[in-house]
């Protein structure tokens, strides 16, 4: 991927050279439009919304979630959005809220260890009421093996493993009364997260015949200190309390008060509109998710705050006459992550047909001086490559190039230093914009738009790696208003440009999509040459890369027809670029044939299908048309379906099902995508795994085979 990304950025720089050196623009916005947006969008205002949202522990269906939703609705109305409402939805489990929870050491010294009044993540979500005093016992990672020779009945267990494992193995199986864990969030090393409280949960419904229990979460530093006391019976200063006492034994008192409703509970999402003036069936949906732990300033308070600020910006610009009312409606969604959208598709199956694109913000406020966080700008997967990727890359590269230092531009080119056209907030940093475009990955709401029968183009922004996500440390101190503003500018520019794009804009969208496609095709050829150098059996993969690459780029160009409508001239422009793209296939294959002969001293062999490939080519999957039935049945497939197939490639197998492609066609498309990015990114795609996965979907009745 490193080579692919480098080529993409370099090529983008070449395409933009003329405009960058003189007027510093993207071809999708002129100078006045850039100034209009960058002057008004405020990272500081977005930060103030995040400041409010961080107060609540707002996991799905919690009281804090609804309080956050109420705040967003009020702020959305103040920002000028129309038809603001809360879309109530059912939740699989019961509604849950913890009222109070404290954990005390009562022997050998009285010390408060945890209190959700200090931070909600001290208690694992799903914990039940408790008022117990019991001895603490160390159980390692909480596995059955670790507990094999331990008597934990009537005791509280201390573990550095997942609380769910200790809950089942120690509490439900061996009679312990509760769990204390200091497992880190996201699998972090305790050296790197010594003072973080990891956000976690335990199953809210106990096994039949068992009573619900609890799990407290401590910092690794505190957890290791308790373990040390248990394993050392000498006299010591207990937890730096100033009192010396003998170790070897600890007694804890746990008091927990929760409210647990009945299933199904309720959740939902907030929606607001800027109504379009012309295209009533091509909505642009802007998303961020409300649901997370207390704090969660970056994940995804940043996206939520930015959406509110974007609503204010657009409405103010329209009111002042600087920006016309968009021709396409802008729909703002603050959702319960991923579940809201999937439920919405099932409840309103006609709605996806009205959505043009999704622009998603998740973790867009990172102070990049803290940790090694880079803003990832996530392209759509190959199954959904479209004009949206070209727009995204153009606007994103504009912000990257103008908010990083280049000696040639500033020292010798006469442009401002350190950045040539910076976006800074009033109270934010003066840092550079550390960002890169990356091949598709999921893990947030954009996957629900890209998914299978939904099929809506979507791009997203998520910073990674993040040292604070899903812990008590995802809070305001590590948010940067400047990065909020830069990321919001990218989304704003895309929404603004798409909101009124029509036939007159097709030449620009087509030429940019074509140019971006040439860079992708160049990478396909590069990977193909590497496969040929690696061995003669790489020839079939090299050919497939070219064939699938051209098909991908044709699909991308065809996607522009939604902007062309019935305009004959615009449609002819698209067709010309498609023709030019198809012409490249034979040229690229000729180049690879020449290389094969030079490397191996003979002509490249013809590609023949194996018996397994021939069998796969005869099976054509067709999705169940009813979305509720489709998603329900897909849940039954099981995680093991597809064996070694990477999770994201499983998603792509699903996305390529269209009632025309065979198992073999889908395999070729997904294998080419994985090879283009690299096995380190997407793993290795094998035919037998794709066939097993698709067969599992047939068995679960998510899709059927065409006669």
Q: Using one digit for the tens of pLDDT, what is the confidence trace for 423-455? A: 999 999 999 999 999 999 999 999 999 999 999
Sole residue written with tokens 């400041």: 51
Does position 12 have pLDDT exceeding 70, yes or no? no
Q: How far is Cα 641 from Cα 649, in angstroms, rounded to an integer?
A: 12
- According to CATH, the topology of domain 509-607 is Methane Monooxygenase Hydroxylase; Chain G, domain 1 (1.20.58)
What confidence score (pLDDT) does residue 25 get? Answer: 87
What confidence score (pLDDT) does residue 639 get? Answer: 58
Does position 343 have pLDDT exceeding 60, yes or no? yes
Does position 198 have pLDDT exceeding 60, yes or no? yes
Strand 130-138 with 156-159, pairing: parallel
Are 244 and 236 in contact by the 8 Å Cβ rule? The answer is yes
Are 556 and 391 in contact by the 8 Å Cβ rule? The answer is no
pLDDT band with cut points at 50, 70 and 90 for residue 665: very high
For range 110-137, the mean pLDDT = 98
Q: Spell out the residues 6+ positions from residue 437 whose beta carbon is closer than 8 angstroms to its own.
A: 5, 8, 9, 376, 377, 378, 379, 392, 393, 396, 397
Q: Which CATH number fits domain 96-260: 3.50.30.30, 1.10.150.20, 3.30.930.10, 3.40.50.300?
A: 3.50.30.30
Q: How far is Cα 339 from Cα 399, in angstroms, rounded to an integer?
A: 32
pTM of the model: 0.95
- Superfamily name and number for 2-93+265-499: Zn peptidases (3.40.630.10)
Buried b (16+ CB within 10 A) or exposed e, 617-636: eebbbebbeebeebbebbee
For range 408-414, the mean pLDDT = 88
Does position 16 have pLDDT exceeding 80, yes or no? no
For range 74-102, the mean pLDDT = 97
Sole residue written with tokens 């290791």: 224
Are 352 and 73 in contact by the 8 Å Cβ rule? The answer is no
Does position 519 have pLDDT exceeding 80, yes or no? yes
Are 618 and 696 in contact by the 8 Å Cβ rule? The answer is no
What confidence score (pLDDT) does residue 2 get? Answer: 33
What confidence score (pLDDT) does residue 10 get? Answer: 32
pLDDT band with cut points at 50, 70 and 90 for residue 293: very high
Does position 113 have pLDDT exceeding 50, yes or no? yes
Indicate the DSSP class of residue 125: B
Does position 358 have pLDDT exceeding 60, yes or no? yes
Does position 577 have pLDDT exceeding 80, yes or no? yes
Q: Rounded to whole angstroms, what are the CA distances from 366 to 40, 54, 194, 218, 567? A: 21, 15, 21, 25, 44
Q: Where do the domains of the chain lie?
A: 2-93+265-499, 96-260, 509-607, 614-707
pLDDT band with cut points at 50, 70 and 90 for residue 9: very low
Mean pLDDT of the chain: 95
Are 409 and 349 in contact by the 8 Å Cβ rule? The answer is no
For range 562-585, the mean pLDDT = 98
What confidence score (pLDDT) does residue 410 get? Answer: 87
For range 635-663, the mean pLDDT = 90
Instruction: Provide the edge-to-edge strand list for the sheet that holds 458-464.
Output: 82-91, 265-274, 328-335, 279-289, 355-361, 458-464, 374-378, 435-438
What confidence score (pLDDT) does residue 18 get? Answer: 38
Does position 5 have pLDDT exceeding 90, yes or no? no
Does position 269 have pLDDT exceeding 70, yes or no? yes
Tell me the residue length of the chain: 707
Q: Spell out the residues 6+ positions from residue 323 whose beta carbon is closer than 8 angstroms to its own.
A: 36, 314, 317, 496
Q: Spell out the residues 6+ positions from residue 414 whose beta carbon is closer than 8 angstroms to its own.
A: none
Beta bridge partners of 134: 252
């Amino acid at each position: 991927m490193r080579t692919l990304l480098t080529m993409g950025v370099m090529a983008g720089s070449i395409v933009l050279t003329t405009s960058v050196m003189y007027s510093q623009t993207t071809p999708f916005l002129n100078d006045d439009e850039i100034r209009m947006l960058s002057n008004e969008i405020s990272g500081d205002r977005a930060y103030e919304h995040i400041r409010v949202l961080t107060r609540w522990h707002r996991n799905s269906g919690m009281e804090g979630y609804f309080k956050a939703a109420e705040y967003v609705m009020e702020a959305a109305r103040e920002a000028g959005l129309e038809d603001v409402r809360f879309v109530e939805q059912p939740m699989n489990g019961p509604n849950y809220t913890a009222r109070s929870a404290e954990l005390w050491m009562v022997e050998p010294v009285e010390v408060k260890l945890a209190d959700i009044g200090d931070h909600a993540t001290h208690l694992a979500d799903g914990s039940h009421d408790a008022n117990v005093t019991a001895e603490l016992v160390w159980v390692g990672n909480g596995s059955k093996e670790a507990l094999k020779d331990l008597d934990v009945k009537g005791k509280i267990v201390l573990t550095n493993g997942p609380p769910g494992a200790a809950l089942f193995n120690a509490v439900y199986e061996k009679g312990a009364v509760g769990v204390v864990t200091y497992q880190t969030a996201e699998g972090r090393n305790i050296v790197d997260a010594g003072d973080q409280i990891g956000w976690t949960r335990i199953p809210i419904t106990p096994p039949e015949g068992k009573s619900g229990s609890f799990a407290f979460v401590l910092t690794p530093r505190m957890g290791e200190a308790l373990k040390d006391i248990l394993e050392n019976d000498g006299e010591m200063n207990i937890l730096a309390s100033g009192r010396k006492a003998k170790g070897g034994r600890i007694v804890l008192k746990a008091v927990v008060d929760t409210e647990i409703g009945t299933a199904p509970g309720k959740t939902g999402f907030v929606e607001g509109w800027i109504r379009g003036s012309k295209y009533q069936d091509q909505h642009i949906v802007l998303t961020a998710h409300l649901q997370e732990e207390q704090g969660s300033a970056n994940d995804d308070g940043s996206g939520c705050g930015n959406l509110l600020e974007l609503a204010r910006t657009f409405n103010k610009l329209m009111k002042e006459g600087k920006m016309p009312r968009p021709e396409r409606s802008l729909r703002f969604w603050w959702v319960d992550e991923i579940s809201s959208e999937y439920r919405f598709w099932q409840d309103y199956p006609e709605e996806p047909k009205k959505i043009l694109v999704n622009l998603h913000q998740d973790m867009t406020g990172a102070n990049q001086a803290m940790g090694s966080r880079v803003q990832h700008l996530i392209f759509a997967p190959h199954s959904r490559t479209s004009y949206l990727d070209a727009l995204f890359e153009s606007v994103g590269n504009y912000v990257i190039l103008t908010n990083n230092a280049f000696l040639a531009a500033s020292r010798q080119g006469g442009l401002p230093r350190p950045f040539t056209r910076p976006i800074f907030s009033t109270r934010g940093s003066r840092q550079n914009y550390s960002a890169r475009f990356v091949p598709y990955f999921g893990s947030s709401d954009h996957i629900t738009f890209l998914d299978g029968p939904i099929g809506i183009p979507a791009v997203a922004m998520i910073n990674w790696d993040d040292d604070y996500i899903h812990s008590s440390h995802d809070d305001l101190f590590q948010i940067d208003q400047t990065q909020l503003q830069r990321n919001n500018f990218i989304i704003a520019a895309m929404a603004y440009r798409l909101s009124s794009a029509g036939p007159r804009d097709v030449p620009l969208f087509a030429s940019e999509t074509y140019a971006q496609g040439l860079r992708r095709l160049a990478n396909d050829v590069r990977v193909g040459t590497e496969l040929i150098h690696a061995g003669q059996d790489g020839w079939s993969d090299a050919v497939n890369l070219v064939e699938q690459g051209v098909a991908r780029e044709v699909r991308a160009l065809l996607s522009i027809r939604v902007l062309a409508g019935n305009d004959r001239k615009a449609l002819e422009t698209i067709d010309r670029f498609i023709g030019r793209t198809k012409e490249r296939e034979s040229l690229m294959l000729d180049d690879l044939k020449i290389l094969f002969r030079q490397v191996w001293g003979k002509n490249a062999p013809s590609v023949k299908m194996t018996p397994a490939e021939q069998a796969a080519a005869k099976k054509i999957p067709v999705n169940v048309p009813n979305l509720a039935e489709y998603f329900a049945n897909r849940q039954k497939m099981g995680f093991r379906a597809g064996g070694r197939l990477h999770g994201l490639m499983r998603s792509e197998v699903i996305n390529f099902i269209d009632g025309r492609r065979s198992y073999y066609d889908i395999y070729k498309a997904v294998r080419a995508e994985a090879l283009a990015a690299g096995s380190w990114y997407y793993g290795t795609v094998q035919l037998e795994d794709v066939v097993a996965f698709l067969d599992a979907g047939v068995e679960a009745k998510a899709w059927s085979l065409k006669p």
